[in-house]
Amino acid sequence: MSVSTTPGRAGRTPSTRVSLLERLRKGTDATAWQLFVDLYTPLIYRFGRRKGLQDADAQDVAQKVMARVFKAIGKFAYDSQRGRFRNWLGIITVHEIVRHHDRARRASQRFGVDQGESVTEKMARSDDGDWFDAFNAHILATALERIRAQFDDDAWQAFDLTWIHDIPTEDAASRLDQTAAWIYKARFRVLKRLRAEVEFLTEDAAVLHRAH
């Protein structure tokens, strides 16, 4: 069975269209902005929760990050450095989380409550990989969801078994009653489409680390 070429929810192949960030920089694409908000708000919210924010506070921080991005995206200049957009969004997110925690800390101190070491100090010592890991996992999961409908079940299972679950090609071929060559081709097609979707969403091909 062959990979379908019918576009799914993601629309046309990203390599044939302007990237999401480029559309945002023009400042007139409401559809692109809504996609951006839908894509990144859950990531920022979950990251805030991981950094100690309560539900309402994490939602507030996510909204403030979106507002800051909206104001600044027109000035964002993409270059091919690894993870440039990812870093930029991470800096904005971390700054908003720190601001929120520090405001809460100052408010507590006014009432004589000592919360110990500030979040600014804690996050300065934290592993920078926290944001990168969260970002990469979120983008990969979103891209996988967006392209799934574009492939038939056998092609997707070939990819899922050998790339996601790292099952040997020969075992996957046996399970799907296909040849090893067919498995390689099916996986290649899905990976090619996945990379294109990741690039469309982020302009950051480095997000997709595995190459096999």
**Domain extents in the chain:** 18-126, 143-212
- Closest-CA residue to 164 (of 150, 143, 135): 143
Average pLDDT over residues 156-171: 97
Residue 31 Cα to chain centre, angstroms = 18
Q: Would you say residue 164 has pLDDT above 90?
A: yes
Average pLDDT over residues 130-145: 93
Average pLDDT over residues 160-179: 97
Span of 22-26, 79-83, 113-117, 158-162 with lowest mean pLDDT: 113-117
Residue 6's pLDDT is 33
Mean pLDDT, the chain, whole residue set:
80
Residue 29's pLDDT is 86
What band does 211 get if pLDDT is binned at 50, 70 and 90? very low
**What share of the chain has pLDDT > 90, as a percent?**
54
- What is the tens place of the pLDDT at every residue in 57-72? 999 999 999 999 988 8
- What is the tens place of the pLDDT at every residue in 72-127? 887 766 555 555 788 889 999 999 999 888 876 766 555 554 554 444 445 544 55
| CB contact set of 118 (below 8 Å; sequence gap of 6+) | 101, 102, 105
Q: Would you say residue 42 has pLDDT above 70?
A: yes
Residue 22's pLDDT is 84
Q: Of residues 112 and 44, which shows the higher confidence score?
A: 44
Residue 86's pLDDT is 86
Rounded CA-CA distance 138/85 in Å is 14
Span of 15-24, 81-90, 118-127, 180-189 with lowest mean pLDDT: 118-127
Residue 11 structure tokens: 């629309």
Report domain 143-212's class: mainly alpha
| Architecture field, domain 18-126 | Orthogonal Bundle (1.10)
